[in-house]
């Protein structure tokens, strides 16, 4: 506080600092200014619109899935009863809507494999084509595989401003049950570095984060899949945190019924 005051009145003597009769300033501020201070206006002044002051609490991104199950992390699908999974399909469609080509007209094709760093004030976004997700893109199968009992789940890494993953990050999933196989799109769950860094909601308006789709194929007779996905291949993306079970990893279950 006192640092601030001195900055404001570096040449005033002490007496004037406490109360300046010419400008009616008390402790270097006018009554109005104090009022603003009190009302927390100063908060707005010191904060940047583009990036928060600190990011130490989100040094590493979390991992989440779409659709988000209602409670616990358990996706239940009954093929013979459409209502049991309809909302998942809707959620996926809703989420992927902003990835449709028509929504990405302003986005550009970027050079794969390297960070897309920008200096200009308004940042451009790299295009993420739904085609990358192949059968899970919803382009051909509007039920995202739910109808035939091999549902798609979309995985995404949380957005963090300025995050630059080291190495070659990818999302790797494993299932406990032997009679279930997983297929990821793009291949090997690769996450392209060109989508980093993120510059924040205001500057990076059309930014779309890269996605990885996971198709869960149940072999006949199998009904349950306990899946764990992790962000791998990048030393600065944590996936082992003791307390945060969603930091660079996620565990969920898919149950199928006929």
Partner 1 sequence: MDQEKSEICNIKVNGTNFEKVDNEMAKKDDSKEKKKLSKRTLKKEHQKELKKDLDLNDHKISTKELEEKYGTSIIQGLTSTRAAEVLARDGLNVLTPFKDTPKIIKFFKQMVGGFSSLLWAGAILCFIAYVIEFSKDNSVSMDNLYLGVVLIIVVILTGMFAYYQEAKSTNIIASFSKMIPRKALVIRDGEKREIPAEELVVGDIVEIKGGDQIPADIRILDSQGCKVDNSSLTGESEPQTRSCHFTHENPLETKNIGFYSTTCLEGTATGIVINTGDRTIIGRIASLASSVGQEKTPIAIEIEHFVHIVAGVAVSIGIVFFIIAICMKYRVLDAVVFLIGIILANVPEGLVAAVTVSLSLTAKRMAKKNCLVKNLEAVETLGSTSIICSDKTGTLTQNRMTVAHLWFDNQIYRADTSEDQKAQSFDQSSATWASLFNIVTLCNRAEFGAGQENVSIMKKIVIGDASETALLKFSGIITDDVIGKRKRNPKVAEIPFNSVNKFQLSIHETDDPNDKRFLLVMKGAPERILEKCSTIMINGQEQPLDESAREAFQTAYMELGGLGERVLGFCHLYLPEDEFPDTYSFDIETMNFPTSDLCFVGLISLIDPPRSTVPDAVIKCRSAGIKVIMVTGDHPITAKAIARSVGIISANSETVEDIAKRLKIPVEQVNKREAKAAVVSGMELKEMSPEQLDELLKNHSEIVFARTSPQQKLIIVEGCQRQDAIVAVTGDGVNDSPALKKANIGIAMGFAGSDAAKNAADMVLLDDNFSSIVTGIEEGRLIFDNMKKIIAFTLTKNIAELCPFLIFIIAGVPLPIGTIAILFIDLGTDVIPSIALAYEKAESDIMNRKPRHKKKDRLVNHQLALYSYLQIGILQSVGGFFAYFTVYAVQGFRPERLLYLRPFWEDNTFNDLEDSYGQEWTKYQRKYLEWTGYTAYFVAVMVQQIADVIIRKTRINSIFQQGLFRNKYIWVGIASQIIIAVILSCGLGSITALNFTTLRIQYWFVAVPYAIIIWLYDEFRKLLVRQYPGSWWDNNMYY
Residues binding partner 1 (CB under 8 A) = 1, 37-38, 40, 43, 47, 50-55, 57-58, 61-64, 68-69, 71-73, 156, 158-161, 198, 200-202, 204, 207, 241, 243-247, 250
Report the 10 Å Cβ neighbour count for 28.
Answer: 21
* Smaller CB separation from partner 1, 22 or 72: 72
Least Å distance, CB 152 to partner 1, is: 18
Least Å distance, CB 46 to partner 1, is: 9
Q: Which residues pair with 151 in a beta bridge?
A: none
The β-bridge relationship of strands 211-218 and 152-157 is antiparallel
Least Å distance, CB 250 to partner 1, is: 8
* Smaller CB separation from partner 1, 159 or 215: 159
Closest CA to 87 of 63, 100, 68, 64: 68
* Smaller CB separation from partner 1, 80 or 120: 120
* Smaller CB separation from partner 1, 64 or 168: 64
* Smaller CB separation from partner 1, 173 or 218: 173
On whether the CB atoms of residues 99 and 208 are closer than 8 A, the answer is yes
Least Å distance, CB 39 to partner 1, is: 9
Least Å distance, CB 85 to partner 1, is: 18
- Cα 98 from Cα 25, distance rounded (Å): 52
Closest CA to 38 of 55, 23, 26, 48: 26
* Smaller CB separation from partner 1, 136 or 208: 208
Phi, psi of 247 (to 5 degrees): -85, 100
Distance in Å from the first CA to the final CA of the chain: 67
Least Å distance, CB 44 to partner 1, is: 8
Phi, psi of 232 (to 5 degrees): -120, 170
Phi, psi of 132 (to 5 degrees): -55, -30
């Amino acid at each position: 506080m006192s640092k601030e005051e001195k900055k404001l009145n570096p040449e005033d003597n002490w007496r004037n600092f406490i109360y300046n009769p010419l400008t009616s300033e008390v402790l270097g501020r006018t009554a109005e200014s104090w009022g603003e201070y009190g009302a927390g206006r100063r908060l707005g002044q010191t904060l940047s619109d583009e990036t928060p002051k600190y990011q130490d609490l989100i040094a590493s991104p979390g991992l989440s899935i779409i659709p988000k199950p209602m409670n616990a992390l358990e996706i239940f699908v009954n093929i013979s009863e459409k209502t049991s999974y309809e909302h998942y399909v809707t959620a996926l469609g809703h989420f992927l809507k902003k990835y449709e080509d028509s929504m990405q007209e302003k986005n550009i094709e970027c050079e794969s494999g390297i960070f897309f760093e920008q200096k200009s004030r308004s940042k451009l976004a790299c295009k993420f084509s739904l085609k990358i997700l192949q059968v899970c893109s919803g382009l051909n199968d509007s039920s995202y595989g739910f109808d035939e009992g091999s549902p798609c789940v979309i995985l995404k890494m949380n957005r963090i401003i300025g995050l630059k993953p080291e190495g070659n990050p990818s999302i790797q999933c494993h299932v406990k049950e032997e009679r279930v196989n997983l297929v990821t799109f793009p291949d090997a769950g690769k996450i392209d570095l060109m989508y980093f860094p993120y510059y924040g909601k205001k500057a990076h308006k059309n930014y779309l984060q890269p996605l990885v789709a996971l198709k869960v194929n149940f072999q006949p007779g199998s009904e349950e899949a306990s899946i764990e996905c992790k962000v791998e291949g990048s030393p600065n993306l944590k996936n082992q945190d003791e307390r945060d079970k969603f930091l660079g990893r996620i565990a969920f279950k898919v149950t199928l019924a006929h």
